[in-house]
Structure 1
Amino acid sequence: MLIKSADDKSRRLALLQDLQKSPLLDTRQKEWLRVELRNLTAGIKGEREAAFHLDGHYKDGQNNVLLHDLRFQVDGEVAQIDHLVINRTGYMVLIETKNYSGDLEVNAHGEFTVRYGKERYGIPSPYEQSRRHARILGKLLERLEIGTRTDKLPEFHNVVLMHPQAIIQRPDAKALDTSFLIKADQFRAWHEKLVDGFSTGGVFKAIFNIRSPDTIKAWGEKLKRQHRPQDLLDLPDFMQPKPQPAKAVMEPRPPAPVFAAAPATPAPAQADASLAKKLICAHCREKISYPEGKFCWNNAKRFGGLQYCREHQNSFT
Structure 2
Amino acid sequence: MKLISKMIIKQADSKVKDLEILCRLLQSPDLLPQKRQNIEQHLRLIRSGIKGEAESAYQLQFHFGNHPDWVIIHDLRLKYQGKVAQIDHLLINRYLQIFVCESKRVAGSLIINEQGEFSRRYEGNEQGMPSPVEQNRRHISLLNNLLHSELIQLPGRFGWKLRPSLYSLILISNNTYIRRPKNPVSGLSSVIKNEQLQTKIQQLSKHSRIFGIIRKVSSISIQTFARQLVQLHRSARYDWPSYFGLNKPVSQLTDSVIVTHTQLQTENLSTKTHYFCSDCHKNITGSVVYYCHNHKNIFGGKTYCYQCQQKFNNNN
Please give the TM-score of this superposition, normalised by the length of structure 1.
0.70
**Do the aligned partners of 1:89 and 1:207 also contact (CA within 8 Å) in 2?**
no
State how many pairs are aligned.
239
Which whole-Å deviations, capped at 9, do the CAs of 1:145-193 have from their partners, x for residues lacking one? 3266678641111111011111100112535562211111210111112
Equivalent of residue 221 in structure 1, options 198, 223, 227: 227
* Structure 1 residues 110-189: aligned runs within 5 Å: 110-142=116-148, 143-146=151-154, 153-172=163-182, 174-176=184-186, 178-189=188-199
**Greater fraction of residues in helix:** 2
Gaps of 5+ in 1: 244-317
Does residue 93 of structure 1 match 2:99?
Answer: yes
Cα 1:129–1:206 change in 2 (3 A) is: farther
Secondary structure, counterpart of 1:179 in structure 2: helix
Return the offset for 1:33. Answer: 0.6
Secondary structure, counterpart of 1:11 in structure 2: helix
Which whole-Å deviations, capped at 9, do the CAs of 1:67-95 have from their partners, x for residues lacking one? 00010111211100000011111210000
Q: Relative contact order (alpha carbons < 8 A, sep ≥ 6): 1 or 2 greater? A: 2
Return the offset for 1:236. Answer: 4.7
**Do the aligned partners of 1:43 and 1:99 also contact (CA within 8 Å) in 2?**
yes
Query: 1:76 matched to which residue of 2?
Result: 82
Does residue 192 of structure 1 match 2:202?
Answer: yes
Gaps of 5+ in 2: 1-6, 250-316
Equivalent of residue 60 in structure 1, options 66, 70, 77: 66
Please give the TM-score of this superposition, normalised by the length of structure 2.
0.70
Distance in 2 between the 1:153 and 1:62 partners?
20
Distance in 1 between the 2:140 and 2:213 partners?
24
Q: Percent identity?
A: 34
Which whole-Å deviations, capped at 9, do the CAs of 1:102-161 have from their partners, x for residues lacking one? 210011211000001221111110111111011111222223132666786411111110
**Do the aligned partners of 1:86 and 1:92 also contact (CA within 8 Å) in 2?**
yes
Cα 1:148–1:178 change in 2 (3 A) is: farther
Distance in 1 between the 2:23 and 2:197 partners?
33
Task: Please tell me whether Structure 1 or Structure 2 has the larger radius of gyration of its CA atoms.
Answer: 1
**Do the aligned partners of 2:155 and 2:221 also contact (CA within 8 Å) in 1?**
no
Secondary structure, counterpart of 2:176 in structure 1: coil
Residue type of the alignment partner of 2:98: M
Distance in 1 between the 2:91 and 2:162 partners?
18
Distance in 1 between the 2:199 and 2:210 partners?
22
